[in-house]
Amino acid sequence: MVNDVVKRYDSLLALDHVDFEIAQGEILGLLGPNGAGKTTAIRALAGLLPVDSGSIELFGEAQVPGAMGLRRRLGLVTQEITVFEDLSARENLEFFGGLYGLKGAELRRRIAETLDFVCLAEHADARPKKYSGGMKRRLNIACALTHRPEFLIMDEPTVGIDPQSRNHILESVKSLRDRGTTILYTSHYMEEVQAIATRVVIMDQGHAIAQGTVDELVERIQYEERVRLELGSPTEELVARIRALPGVKQVEREGASLTVVSEAGSANLDRILQAAQGGGGVRSVQADKPSLEDVFLTLTGKSLRDGGES
């Protein structure tokens, strides 16, 4: 639980009375444009950064820098790949597992299980400097998993990798959730968060400005309704008739396809379909539902795809 947390860097207010909760066994997506305060929030949650006021509580215990009991229950997957290039994958996991007190047969068993989980068992004795980008990302995640954390923080874990590796990581995240791991997940790829998150927190300028499920957040915004139609033989007269319907803001024609944009809440689908029957019949229709990215842009007015946050 993050409760009324404030963090300043000199005159910069990085976290401004931030509140949010993470339920046990859920994936919480943390989103925000550059400079929103996500990185500061992550570092504070991980116990790497003290806060100026407010409190952070994990597993019923206050999170502060140096809280070793909590550190053993946490895993942190950093945006930067933090593995040793000149050690093998197995040796990397031996090192990071040892930091959490694992040793002997238990450490070897955990290493084998973790390498298998991230599909690197066949490359266990190869050095990461010979790995592809996706393999390095998977090893980076493995280093945070060997000690089986109850709470896993994943900061941009799929940056710069191929679609196959990205899909494998997302499936792995859902598998960890199914095992009971609580996960905080940040990404500049909005579709990732929409696909896996139980709930979402959106931050901007140090504030947690919105939180809830994707459906709950979509319901909070008034967003344009967009309908795509494939017609038999649309005419300019038909386009003009649809354009004249109440609430219609825009009609675009491309061959036999029409895209109709209406004001939020206009409930225009039936009227559009009725008018479109004069265009040689409706072959297909698609009503676009607002996405998490639509919510984000409505609330912040910014794009997520600007690169990493400093």
pLDDT 10s digits, 227-260: 999 988 888 888 898 999 998 988 989 988 989 9
pLDDT number for residue 304: 57
Collapsing DSSP states into helix, strand and coil, what is residue 107? helix
When pLDDT is cut at 50, 70 and 90, the band that residue 278 belongs to is confident
pLDDT at residue 37 above 60?
Answer: yes
Sequential DSSP letters for 134-197: HHHHHHHHHHTTTT--SEEEEESTTTT--HHHHHHHHHHHHHHHHTT-EEEEE-S-HHHHHHH-
pLDDT band of residue 279 (cuts 50, 70, 90) is low
Q: Which of 184, 94, 107 is nearest to 143 (CA)?
A: 94
Task: Enter the tokens of residue 38.
Answer: 């996500």
pLDDT at 151 over 50: yes
User: What does the pLDDT read at residue 180?
Assistant: 95
Q: 104: exposed, middle or buried (C-beta count within 10 Å: 0-12, 13-18, 19+)?
A: exposed
Q: How many angstroms separate the Cα of 24 from the Cα of each of 41, 54, 116, 156, 157?
A: 18, 21, 25, 21, 21
24: left (phi over 0), alpha (psi -120 to 50) or beta: beta
Q: Which amino acid is at 196?
A: I
Provide the pLDDT for residue 224: 76
Question: Is 220 a residue whose pLDDT tops 90?
Answer: no
Q: Provide the residue type at 144 as one letter.
A: A
**Phi and psi angles of residue 174, each rounded to the nearest 5 degrees, phi first:** -65, -35
CA torsion through residues 42, 45, 51, 57, sign: positive
Q: Are 5 and 18 in contact (CB under 8 A)?
A: yes
What is the mean pLDDT of the segment spanning 118-134? 94
**β-strands 225-231, 282-288: how paired?**
antiparallel
Q: Provide the pLDDT for residue 226.
A: 85
What number of other Cβ atoms are within 10 A of residue 190's Cβ?
21
Better-scored residue on pLDDT, 272 or 290: 272
